[in-house]
Amino acid sequence: MAGLELLSDQGYRLDGRKASELRKVQARTSVFAQADGSAYLEQGNTKALAVVYGPHETRGSRSKSLHDRAVINCQYSMATFSTAERKRRPHGDRKSSEMSLHLKQTFEAAVLTELYPRSQIDIYVKILQADGGNYSACVNAATLALVDAGIPMRDYVCACTAGFVEDTPLADLCHAEESGGGTSLALALLPRSGNIALLQMDARLHQDHLDALIEAAMTACKGLSKVLDGVVRQHLEEVSVLIRD
Amino acid sequence: MIKTEKVLHLNSSKGRKVRVVREHYVREQVPCGSSLCQADCHNDGKVLSGDVTHYVVPDVGVVRDFLEILEFRELQGIVLTQTAYQTVQHTRGRRQYNRLRALLKDPRHDCVLFANEFQQYCYCPRDKGESQDKWHTRNVYNAAVWYYNHLAGLQPVVMITEDSDAISEFSALNSGVYVISTKEYLLSFWPDLQAAYDLYNSIAQTLQERESEGVEKVYTEHLPAEVLEAGIKSGRHIQGILSVNKHRAQLEAFVRYEGSVSKNTELNSDVLINGAKHRNRAVHGDVVVIDLLPRNEWKGRTMALTEGQGEEQPLEDTQSQPMPSGRVVGILQRNWRDYVATFPPLEAVQSQSRNSQKILVIPWDYRIPKIRISTQQAEALQNQRVIVRLDSWESTSVYPTGHCVRVLGKAGELETEIQTILVENCIHVPTFSEAQLREMPVNTEENPWQMDTSEISSRRDLRETHLVFSIDPKGCEDVDDTLSVRTLPGGKRLELGVHIADVTYFVREGSLTDLEARSRATSCYLADRRYDMLPAVLSADLCSLLGGVDRYAMSVLWELDAETLDVCTVWYGRTLIRSSYQLHYELAQSLLNGEEIEVPELSQLKGSQRDQKQAELLQALETLTRVARHLRAQRDKGGALELEGVEVRAQLDEEKNITALVPKQPLEVHETVAECMIYANHWVARKIQENFPHQALLRHHPPPKQEFFNHLIGSAKARGFSIDTRSNRALADSLEQAVDPQDPLVNKLMRMMATQAMSNALYFSTGACPEEQYYHYGLALDRYTHFTSPIRRYADVLVHRLLMAAIQLEEKGSLSKPFASNKELEELLLYQIFHCSKPQSTELFQCLYFRDKDSHTDERCVADAVIYAVRTNGFLAFVPQYGLKGAVYLKNREGQVVSVDGDGRCEWKAGILQRYPDRISTCTSTGTHIFDLFDHVTVRISVEPSRCHADSLCLELISNKPHCAVQPESQPAGRGRSELVQEVVRWAEEASLQAEEERGRKSKLSREEKQFRQSRTPNLYVLLQEISELALLDLSVCQIRNTEEQTCTASS
């Protein structure tokens, strides 16, 4: 069997998208009443649930708290049913810890933590179905949850992946494209300022192509930020209608 | 875009079934790729023409099994659906998939790919419980209906399928969309296309047979691809290309490593694959993965000479030292091509098997196993040569299964044999189509071609300022290179110019002519005809730098210091030239030698004016010779090799019968011209490599593997010479010293052995190779390319474009359009390499010469030979008079050996043979005789005819004394050693120029014959010659220049 052709001669990807097209993004905020903020986001078939608690007093030992800003605590996990074969360990494995750390770094760059000294913000993200771009789905869902919780941020954090096939950058990789072993670059962007919150790439890539790839990922992030903004505004509309009644 | 989902069931890495959900996005706007489109689709790239009677949509099964029928160029308006395309990708191998891709890319085929599964109204999700085949067919049918509606009913659409249910289900649903079977389609729409119909039947039959296959396993199964890949990475398996020993095709095959194998140092030679079981269905040329056998199972290669065909018996006692042996465990890539095979005569067919439907045909190439074919036409096809394509080789079958593609004709007939040779060398030469010829400029007497005024102004005009001349073989039509040399004002500097035909001006990139030239790769010269790479109006007229007419050229001009001959400046660019003299080699050499000779261009002039002109020309030639000697000396210092090839030329009489085979006579002027061409190639290579460090087309010659020199070193030792092969310089020096004053042939033979040790020179793209590998070993140049023969080599056309781009880049700082990327270039080059390396066919020449002669009475069949290698039951000998090599047996089938009596005559007698590293002795009742390496003997040459293969020559020992009528190697007295060596070099250079001979000969054809490319006398057919880029020689040959020379001896 010939290997998968990620980009056909006519410019179609495996799932029928063109190179720069994103997967369908759908999201809702305030899905749980218990938490301070929550959001559910689907990016194609990748489904993520994010919950935010806080800001509140630091739990556990006092020594962890910082005197000038809030501590952000992230926890990432994947549902056992999220992949094609049932996962043994939903969280706490090496990959999950790494992802938690990445999320923490991303949001430390975006949240105005200095407003809440000696306190803590908890972000819990769970992947319900994994189909590529788990990190970006988590970031996007967590952003919505933070907005829902009313925690002040510099900007939305939008994240998207991009890959590189046959001299063409592909935006928003799905699982089949990611697992091929090619380059995959994950980018978290603060779209209005254009600042990069996190940039991560695993495979090798020729230096000449890096700019094109980052450019493609940035465009994708900006596109996403519009969608997220739309979701937030729609939610506000719904809520304000309720309040007026 | 609308998102849907597709559920697939795949096998996971652990072998479990896994349910996978994939997204599937469909959209309204999918380009249809038809010029009749009413809806403004974005059709870029290839578009279906509107002037066909219908469009045809083949079903999945048709594309999968009958792709070859769709490859007929006559079938037009083919809409391939994405469904079918992907099925081919998943179910058939990469080979077939690539063929399908090539078909879609080829602008000469009227077919497009329609992405039906991404079209919102075409795609239908799979129903629950629906079989995959049914779903595919439904999708294809939907696509056909959509296509019909999309074009607003302007064009009827025919769907062809092999599924009879689909025909009954769908045929009545929509008017305008017809669903019929492939057979019916071919019969009703293309009744004239008999070939397609025959091919259809042949494939259909093969498919049917395959279903009713037996189950008994003959071979072990191949390992799956993942296991192989992991094995190669871990070093457990070895990857390489299988090459089958031509003389022992059933027993011995070798695997040569790809890339460097440094891990396992003891494996520094090829690996032997012994026997069909171990070869495990691999065919010559396949990329295979092998396992090494345990050491106690290692075998040696058979050192005995085998006689021709026949079933071979393994002879245990005749093997050499055991060498690493292995067995094939998997095949990474099949490199099957079209093979010519011969049907056996009828008696053989009937006795062959229980089932006379299946026939074993014998391929023309010895290295290919017999092929099993299912056919009902066995009787009609007996003794015919056919083109066969391999389909598969199941582990249950002793022989591979194939099907017959086309019938070439009866074995032994002229047309058949020529076609055979073409097919076997993968040369495909249809006539130029009208569309291609329409692109060509016109140049007739009524409507002469004229130069463009804007072109004239943009080019550097050398018509008045430079004395330009060409030196070519007699009767050459396509002159690609001219030379000029002059002293610049002031006398301090010389200007040397090489002017090459500007083919790229006429052949625009991407034009039909360009594509055709690309797929032909080179011009191809046969004995009685020639297949040009470019249409004749270009190759013989407008591009050809003929004498006395204005022509466009690409020039390289060097300013050299008049004393030291160092390069001061180089100029590259487009020019306008008018060649003043169209000389041929013999004429130029006579001029240089100071002989009184008439230059045809000056015959009109009178007295002093003529003398003055002639003196000017002579002056230029002399300067040129001086420069060339200097350049040669410089390269020699760097370690350029002088190699030796065997080349004879055939003298022909008026009827084009061969009257004699004569070794070539080299002239110094050959080398002069060649040297200038090497120089031009080298400087162009430098230029393009500097400008395009990642995507320049260069040619390199990798250093040979040391173990290939073993034979040479061993043989040299027998004569007391030592050969140092550590570098090309050392090799060149030691070869120069290895001269036997009594026998000049010894040196020549050793150079021939060195030539055999060489690896092939290759084209490559600079982006794909580290810089230290750019080196050209044979020429001792750090960069080299092919620039000087754009009329007959496509690689040169590419280099011309690169050079123009480089000039543009330097002038303007940017390119008007990006040049092909490294990857594209690589792909192109792979193709070029494949098409340029063709086997040598001098043998055919020689066979023809000896065929009509009675070997026992004709004196010309007896010749002097030199022993150059010793085997267990004979030796290999070289016949310098005819330039042929062959085996001489000292032991015949009955076990008798040759005995030599007192006056040297030989007889067969009972006795024994004893073999030593450098000699072989026969011991009979009359005494013992020893044959040493480099001994001279007398042999008789005769032709051994063969039904399925090419005829071959065999040598028979007559006497152990040198042949009395030995023509002493033509050694003009008074030549120094260096000249002698130079001569030798020239021999090698010319060896690859077999083409020339053809050219020369061709020029004698009458006008009518040329026009129809037909020969009237059929006895020449075996005289195939090709421009063998036979790479070993090629290294010294920069010069595939149109040095066509000679052969015209007869005509002159």
Q: CA-to-CA distance for A245 and B747, rounded, in angstroms? A: 108
A23 chain-B contacts, CB cut-off 8 A: 3, 23
Choice between B528 and B284, residue whose per-residue pLDDT is larger? B284
A44 chain-B contacts, CB cut-off 8 A: 3, 23
Look at residue B943 and tell me if it is in a domain. yes
Say which amino acid occupies B640: A
Verify that B153 and B265 share a domain, yes or no: no
Q: CA-to-CA distance for B202 and B359, rounded, in angstroms? A: 13
Q: Which residue of B has its CA nearest to A15?
A: B24
SS (H, E, C) B243-291: EECHHHCCCEEEEEECCCCCCCCCCCCCEEEEHHHHHCCCCCCCEEEEE
Residues B97, A2: C-beta atoms closer than 8 Å: yes
Range of the domain at B878: 853-959
Q: CA-to-CA distance for B211 and B209, rounded, in angstroms? A: 5
Q: CA-to-CA distance for B783 and B763, rounded, in angstroms? A: 11
> Given CA atoms A174, A175, A178, A184 in this order, what sign does their dihedral have?
positive
Look at residue B931 and tell me if it is in a domain. yes
Whether residue B12 lies within 8 A of chain A, CB to CB, comes out as yes
Output the pLDDT for position A64.
81
Output the pLDDT for position B156.
87
A161's tokens: 């992946």
Output the pLDDT for position A4.
72
Whether residue A242 lies within 8 A of chain B, CB to CB, comes out as no
Q: Nearest CA to CA, how far is B467 from chain A (Å)?
A: 48
Output the pLDDT for position B212.
63
Output the pLDDT for position B968.
40
Q: CA-to-CA distance for B294 and A208, rounded, in angstroms? A: 48
Look at residue A1 and tell me if it is in a domain. no
Strand pairing category for B287-292 and B271-274: unpaired
Task: Measure CB to CB from residue B23 to each of A1, A10, A174 and give the nearest one.
Answer: A174
Single out the residue of B240, B218, B217 nearest to residue B228, CA to CA: B240
Residues B18, A2: C-beta atoms closer than 8 Å: no
A2 chain-B contacts, CB cut-off 8 A: 89-90, 93-94, 97
- How much of chain A exceeds pLDDT 70, in percent? 98
Range of the domain at A69: 7-244
Output the pLDDT for position A212.
92
For chain B, the farthest-separated pair of C-alpha atoms sits apart, in whole angstroms, at 99
Counting the structural domains of chain B, the total is 4
B93 chain-A contacts, CB cut-off 8 A: 1-2
Q: Within 13 Å and on the Cβ side, how many CA atoms surround B614?
A: 23
Whether residue A137 lies within 8 A of chain B, CB to CB, comes out as no
Q: Of B125, B148, B182, which residue is a domain's last?
A: B182
Output the pLDDT for position B966.
41
Residues B26, A16: C-beta atoms closer than 8 Å: yes
Q: Which residue of A has its CA nearest to B27?
A: A16
Look at residue B772 and tell me if it is in a domain. yes
- How much of chain B exceeds pLDDT 90, in percent? 2
- pLDDT bin (cut points 50, 70, 90) of residue B837 is very low
- pLDDT bin (cut points 50, 70, 90) of residue B310 is very low
- How much of chain B exceeds pLDDT 70, in percent? 75
Look at residue A39 and tell me if it is in a domain. yes
Look at residue B955 and tell me if it is in a domain. yes
Output the pLDDT for position B764.
81
Which element (helix H / strand E) includes A185?
strand A184-190
Where residue B900 sits, what CATH number does that domain have?
A: 2.40.50.140
Whether residue B4 lies within 8 A of chain A, CB to CB, comes out as no
B288-292, B403-407, B952-956: the lowest-pLDDT one: B952-956
- pLDDT bin (cut points 50, 70, 90) of residue B815 is low
B5 chain-A contacts, CB cut-off 8 A: 45
Task: Measure CB to CB from residue A45 to each of B21, B26, B97 and give the nearest one.
Answer: B21
Owner of token pair 């009475």? B857
pLDDT of A138 > 80? The answer is yes
Counting the structural domains of chain A, the total is 1
Q: CA-to-CA distance for B665 and B93, rounded, in angstroms? A: 51
B986's tokens: 């020239």
Q: Nearest CA to CA, how far is B9 from chain A (Å)?
A: 10
pLDDT of B863 > 50? The answer is yes
Residues B23, A12: C-beta atoms closer than 8 Å: no
Q: Which residue of A has its CA nearest to B114?
A: A10
Q: Which residue of A has its CA nearest to B2?
A: A24
pLDDT of B297 > 80? The answer is no
pLDDT digits (tens, 9 = 90+) for B112-136: 888 888 888 888 888 888 888 889 9
A15 chain-B contacts, CB cut-off 8 A: 22-25
Residues A9, B101: C-beta atoms closer than 8 Å: yes
B694's tokens: 């990642």
Residues 177-236 of chain A whose Cβ lies under 8 A from any Cβ of chain B: none
Where residue A146 sits, what CATH number does that domain have?
A: 3.30.230.70
B20's tokens: 């996978």
B24 chain-A contacts, CB cut-off 8 A: 15-16
Residues A16, B25: C-beta atoms closer than 8 Å: yes
Verify that B889 and B757 share a domain, yes or no: no
Q: CA-to-CA distance for B212 and A22, rounded, in angstroms? A: 49
Task: Say if CB B171 and CB B59 are below 8 A apart.
Answer: no
- pLDDT bin (cut points 50, 70, 90) of residue B1033 is very low
Q: Nearest CA to CA, how far is A4 from chain B (Å)?
A: 8
B26 chain-A contacts, CB cut-off 8 A: 16
Main-chain phi, psi angles of B302, to 5 degrees: -70, 130
SS (H, E, C) B217-240: CCCCCCCCHHHHHHHHHHCCCEEE
Mean pLDDT for chain B overall = 74
Task: Measure CB to CB from residue A15 to each of B18, B24, B91 and give the nearest one.
Answer: B24
Verify that B77 and B167 share a domain, yes or no: yes
- CA B751-B753-B755 angle, to 5 degrees, is 70
Task: Measure CB to CB from residue B12 to each of A45, A85, A174 and give the nearest one.
Answer: A85
Choice between B262 and B571, residue whose per-residue pLDDT is larger? B571
pLDDT of B688 > 50? The answer is yes
Output the pLDDT for position A139.
96
Verify that B260 and B150 share a domain, yes or no: no
Taking phi first (over 0 means left), then psi (-120 to 50 degrees means alpha), and beta for anything else, what does residue B292 get?
Answer: beta
> Given CA atoms B964, B968, B973, B976 in this order, what sign does their dihedral have?
negative
Owner of token pair 């047996």? B889
Burial (Cβ within 10 Å: 0-12, 13-18, ≥19) of residue A61: exposed
Look at residue A18 and tell me if it is in a domain. yes
Output the pLDDT for position B1.
62
Establish whether the linkage from the previous residue to A55 is cis, with ω within 30° of 0: yes
Look at residue A2 and tell me if it is in a domain. no
Q: Which residue of B has its CA nearest to A176?
A: B22
Which element (helix H / strand E) includes B1007?
helix B1007-1012
A51-60, B498-507, B1021-1030: the lowest-pLDDT one: B1021-1030
Single out the residue of B381, B343, B341, B388 nearest to residue B365, CA to CA: B341
Q: Which residue of A has its CA nearest to B13?
A: A85
Whether residue B113 lies within 8 A of chain A, CB to CB, comes out as yes
Verify that B13 and B72 share a domain, yes or no: yes
**Spacing of C-alpha B670 from chain mean position:** 25
pLDDT of B69 > 80? The answer is yes
Single out the residue of B357, B35, B400, B1 nearest to residue B202, CA to CA: B357
Look at residue A222 and tell me if it is in a domain. yes
Task: Say if CB A22 and CB A220 are below 8 A apart.
Answer: yes
Whether residue B22 lies within 8 A of chain A, CB to CB, comes out as yes
Q: CA-to-CA distance for B620 and B486, rounded, in angstroms? A: 7
pLDDT digits (tens, 9 = 90+) for B140-191: 998 998 888 888 888 888 899 888 888 888 877 777 788 888 888 888 888 8
What does the pLDDT average to over B239-260? 74
Output the pLDDT for position B1021.
31
Verify that B906 and B940 share a domain, yes or no: yes
- pLDDT bin (cut points 50, 70, 90) of residue B1045 is very low
pLDDT digits (tens, 9 = 90+) for B532-550: 788 888 888 888 888 888 8
Where residue B75 sits, what CATH number does that domain have?
A: 3.40.50.1010
Look at residue B341 and tell me if it is in a domain. yes
pLDDT digits (tens, 9 = 90+) for B430-482: 777 777 777 777 777 777 787 888 888 888 888 888 888 888 877 777 788 89
**Spacing of C-alpha B447 from chain mean position:** 38
Strand pairing category for B936-944 and B927-932: unpaired
Output the pLDDT for position B305.
58
SS3 B364: coil
Residues B1, A24: C-beta atoms closer than 8 Å: yes
B12 chain-A contacts, CB cut-off 8 A: 84-85
The ipTM assigned to this model is: 0.90
Number of residues in chain A: 245
pLDDT digits (tens, 9 = 90+) for B37-67: 877 777 777 788 878 888 899 998 888 888 8
A212 chain-B contacts, CB cut-off 8 A: none
Look at residue A211 and tell me if it is in a domain. yes
Verify that B20 and B157 share a domain, yes or no: yes
- pLDDT bin (cut points 50, 70, 90) of residue B1047 is very low
SS (H, E, C) B736-784: HHCCECCEHHHHHHHHHHHHHHCCCCEEEEHHHCCHHHHCECCCCECCC
Choice between B831 and B786, residue whose per-residue pLDDT is larger? B786
B780-819 burial by CB neighbour count: b if 16+ within 10 A, else e? bbbbbbbbbbbbbbbbbbbbbbbbbbbbeeeeeeeeeeeb
Output the pLDDT for position B1017.
33
Q: Nearest CA to CA, how far is A212 from chain B (Å)?
A: 16
Whether residue B104 lies within 8 A of chain A, CB to CB, comes out as yes
DSSP state of B967: P
B25 chain-A contacts, CB cut-off 8 A: 15-17, 21, 24
Q: Nearest CA to CA, how far is A176 from chain B (Å)?
A: 8
Best mutation target among B7, B23, B42, B333 (most A Cβ atoms within 10 Å) is: B23
Verify that B150 and B274 share a domain, yes or no: no
Q: CA-to-CA distance for B136 and B87, rounded, in angstroms? A: 9
CB pairs under 8 A between A and B: 62
Whether residue A5 lies within 8 A of chain B, CB to CB, comes out as yes
Q: CA-to-CA distance for B22 and B8, rounded, in angstroms? A: 7
Task: Measure CB to CB from residue B93 to each of A2, A17, A23 and give the nearest one.
Answer: A2
Verify that B876 and B942 share a domain, yes or no: yes
Where residue B269 sits, what CATH number does that domain have?
A: 2.40.50.690
Task: Measure CB to CB from residue B89 to each of A2, A23, A131 and give the nearest one.
Answer: A2
Q: Nearest CA to CA, how far is A232 from chain B (Å)?
A: 23
Single out the residue of B396, B388, B369 nearest to residue B279, CA to CA: B369
Residues A16, B118: C-beta atoms closer than 8 Å: yes
Residues B118, A24: C-beta atoms closer than 8 Å: no
B274, B276, B277, B282: CA torsion to nearest 10: 100
- pLDDT bin (cut points 50, 70, 90) of residue A50 is very high
Task: Say if CB A183 and CB A163 are below 8 A apart.
Answer: yes
Verify that B897 and B831 share a domain, yes or no: no
Q: CA-to-CA distance for B781 and B639, rounded, in angstroms? A: 9
Output the pLDDT for position B919.
75
> Which residues are CB-neighbours of A75 under 8 A, at least 6 positions away?
A91, A100, A122, A123, A124, A125
Verify that B873 and B921 share a domain, yes or no: yes
Q: CA-to-CA distance for B788 and B500, rounded, in angstroms? A: 6
Distances (CA, A) of A141 to A51, A80, A214, A224: 9, 19, 22, 11
pLDDT of A8 > 60? The answer is yes
Say which amino acid occupies A148: D
Output the pLDDT for position B309.
38
Verify that B328 and B284 share a domain, yes or no: yes
Q: Nearest CA to CA, how far is B693 from chain A (Å)?
A: 14
